[in-house]
Amino acid sequence: MTPEELFAEWTAAWVTRDPAERLRRFEACCVDEVEFVPPDERPVVRGRRALADHVTEHTAAWPDGVTAVLAGPPVGDHDWRRAYVRWIFPSAVLVGLDIIRVENGKIATMLVFAEGAQP
């Protein structure tokens, strides 16, 4: 997958309400032992199944209709890419800086910095 496709699959996994689809999407874009470093006090999550379970729990209270789009194309060097992602909720738009390390064409590490809300 291209970096754009990896980010698209990753964000689609976050916004789906279907846990089976979420796991399928993480399997498509992540290595088995993917590492997710959240932007807050949550612990690092390792492994696709653990990641899918974490996201299911974390997004359970999200309203229907949340979407995510890249604010621009991913940029980077070697095996690292970064992109700004706009998380569009019914009442707010949040921005995050997502940084991925790619291994064998899949996400091996995802590090997220929360930038905050946009008007």
Specify the number of domains making up the chain. 1
Q: Per residue of the chain (119 residues), what is the pLDDT tens digit?
A: 999 999 999 999 999 999 999 999 999 999 999 999 999 899 999 999 999 999 999 999 999 999 999 999 999 999 999 999 999 999 999 999 999 999 999 999 999 998 765 54
Domain coverage including residue 21: 3-118
Instruction: Give CA–CA dist 74/98, Å, rounded.
Output: 9
CATH number at residue 62: 3.10.450.50
Full-model pTM: 0.92
